[in-house]
Structure 1
Amino acid sequence: MAWQKTFLDKNRRWWLRKIARAQYYASATGKWYEGRFTEKSMSGNTMTFKIETTDEMSITITKVRLLDADGDVAYEGNRSIVKSSTEGALIQIDVPMVEE
């Protein structure tokens, strides 16, 4: 017997609520920067996070990560986003949550 859809959907929503912070990394500075969520949503079995940058620097973002309410890294992925000091960047992370 497999996990039931109702149970899985409930747990996916719980995971979505548990993600509390987003950060992005610039390898040139060697620092993680706090991002700001503009959206956290679920569609089917995919969680989507949209994050705005909060700095005013010209950097290349090379990594993004999501942290849970306890400060543990829940997701980390590589990116290559060139950002100027006069413009922000909107980063979208789509994370499928599937049963295997």
Structure 2
Amino acid sequence: MKVNSPNRSRKFSRRNTLSPPLIVAVTLVVMLTGGALWGSYQLGIEAGASIAAEGVDAASLRLELNSDASYSDIHLNAGAQMDAMALRLGDMQADLLRMEALG
């Protein structure tokens, strides 16, 4: 029959229990890590918000410049189309007058 000595059982029980300083140390590490992560997240949000606002301003400026440029292009193109249509209409009226003259 095997008898357990008291030293072995005490050693075994000490391994399974967590000491209060270890619990405090782990808790502090978790709290400091969480605080650092939260702080960096908040700084990232602030920096990201300013970068996003700059991006929106730049995009709206590009859109405004493009719309101004495209408006002037459309206006010039429409004027050219109207001139071409007037020439075509004049040719058609001249052809009609010739046909009426021929009878």
Give the shorter-chain TM-score range.
under 0.3
Normalising by structure 2, we get a TM-score of 0.21
Structure exhibiting the larger radius of gyration computed from Cα positions: 2
Q: Relative contact order, CA 8 A, sep 6+: which one is greater?
A: 1
Higher normalized strand content (fraction of residues) = 1
